[in-house]
């Protein structure tokens, strides 16, 4: 009887183990099926671009340390339930003094279920010597696939539930506040005005949604003249990037949506437990987040038809200049003297 009881316990234990393993394997397979299902899509927009110049920044700051020149194939499908972005990139990396550093071959993919917030993401980067890259305009997608073999690396699963804070903005009737000026420039309530009485006004996005920092002062002192010129240069560059390079004149609603979501501090992503928002967050995203993640955010902030590598690059420049202008006014007491300061509502303030 004792031996039979031992055998019975043993058989029961084996059966439990088998059933547990079967359940485990079933769960693993179900999880893999979900991964495969989310990662498969038919691209509704495909762009092939060559010679895109994109800024590179020092980690954790807006200091530009160089740039890349890249060829890119982007495949996107943004629909009601999911968004998919796959990028094939070959880029030459240069330092700030135009010295060539290396060539990187990149496969970057980002998939998201909008209802659940579940994401799949992978980025495979391989450095190669420049002589390994075909000359002229070549098949970038094939070269990246052959070089990187992206299917050999699994997806990283994550969660992104930031759709709720997305906000579409209308194109403003006027991008700039001007009255009796002899010199003025800017966009989306980030601007400078110089008046005929030798006074000036400078304004840029503050640290709260749709609130702007404003300084009014005279150009009679050296400090004010120098700071005004520095701010002027930043806003001139910002206007060039956001109006010309991001194609405001032909696609005003898309550019306005991007600028609006930057102004209301829509979440871009997270890094190191910190949420990236606003112009500074957009710049940091170029460093901390994957290419496909940032490309997907451009799709999210604007539209699938608008987003491409050239405009994404332009948005980094625009965010850099706006971030620097905002920082300058945040510490305005060190940059101006004998001024009047105010905080005002502007573009992005609850549909302003």
pLDDT for position 48: 98
Cα–Cα distance for residue pair 53/71, rounded to 1 Å? 9
Could you report how far apart the first and last alpha carbons of the chain are, in Å? Answer: 85
pLDDT for position 15: 47
pLDDT for position 37: 73
Q: What is the DSSP string of 173-223?
A: S-SS--SSEEEEEEETTEEEEEETTSEEEEEEE-SSTTEEEEEEEETTSHH
Beta strands in 79-152 (DSSP E): 82-95, 100-113, 118-128
Instruction: Look over the chain and give the mean of its residue pLDDT values, rounded to a whole number.
Output: 88
pLDDT for position 165: 59
Mean pLDDT of 100-116: 96
pLDDT for position 180: 56
Assess whether pLDDT exceeds 70 at residue 273.
yes
Cα–Cα distance for residue pair 192/202, rounded to 1 Å? 4
pLDDT for position 39: 83
Cα–Cα distance for residue pair 315/267, rounded to 1 Å? 16
pTM of the model: 0.87
Contact 267, 277 (CB under 8 A): yes
Assess whether pLDDT exceeds 60 at residue 322.
yes
Q: What is the DSSP string of 59-100?
A: TTS--EEEEEEEEEEEEEEE-SSEEEEEEEEEEEEEETTS-E
pLDDT for position 140: 97
Question: Parallel, antiparallel, or unpaired: how do β-strands 199-205 and 211-218 relate?
Answer: antiparallel
pLDDT for position 170: 59
Which residue from 314, 213, 214 is spatially nearest to 254, judged by alpha carbons? 314
pLDDT for position 352: 52
pLDDT for position 166: 64
**Per-residue pLDDT tens digits for 132-183:** 999 999 999 999 999 999 988 899 999 887 765 566 665 665 555 545 567 8
**Per-residue pLDDT tens digits for 8-17:** 544 455 444 4
pLDDT for position 59: 86
């Amino acid at each position: 009887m004792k031996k039979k009881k031992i055998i019975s316990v043993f058989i029961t234990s084996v059966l439990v183990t088998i059933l547990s393993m079967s359940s485990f394997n079933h769960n693993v397979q179900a999880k893999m099926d979900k991964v495969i299902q989310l990662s498969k899509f038919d691209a509704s927009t495909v762009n092939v671009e060559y010679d895109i110049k994109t800024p590179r920044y020092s980690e954790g700051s807006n200091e530009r340390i160089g740039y890349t020149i890249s060829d890119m194939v982007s495949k996107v499908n943004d629909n009601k339930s999911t968004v998919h972005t796959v990028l094939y990139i070959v880029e030459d990396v240069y330092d700030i003094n135009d010295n060539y550093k290396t060539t990187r071959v990149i496969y970057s993919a980002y998939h998201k279920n909008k209802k659940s917030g579940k994401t799949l993401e992978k980025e495979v980067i391989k450095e190669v010597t420049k002589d390994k890259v075909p000359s002229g305009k070549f098949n970038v997608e094939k070269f990246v696939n052959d070089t990187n073999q992206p299917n050999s690396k699994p997806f990283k699963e994550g969660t992104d539930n930031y759709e709720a804070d997305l906000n579409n903005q209308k194109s403003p009737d006027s991008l700039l506040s001007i009255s009796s000026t002899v010199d003025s420039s800017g966009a989306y309530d980030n601007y400078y005005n110089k008046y005929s009485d030798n006074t000036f006004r400078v304004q840029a996005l503050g640290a709260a949604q749709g609130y702007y920092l404003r300084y009014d002062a005279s150009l009679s002192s050296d400090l004010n003249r120098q700071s005004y010129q520095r701010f002027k240069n930043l806003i001139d560059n910002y206007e060039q990037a956001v109006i010309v390079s991001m194609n405001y004149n032909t696609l005003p609603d898309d550019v306005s949506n991007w600028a609006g979501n930057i102004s209301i501090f829509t979440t871009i992503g997270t890094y190191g437990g910190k949420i990236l928002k606003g112009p500074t967050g957009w710049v940091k995203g170029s460093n901390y987040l994957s290419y496909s993640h940032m490309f997907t955010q451009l799709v999210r902030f604007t539209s699938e038809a608008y987003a491409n590598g050239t405009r994404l690059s332009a948005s980094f420049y625009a965010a850099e200049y706006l971030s620097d202008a905002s920082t300058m006014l945040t510490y305005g007491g060190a940059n101006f003297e004998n001024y009047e300061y105010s905080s005002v509502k502007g573009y992005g303030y609850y549909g302003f």
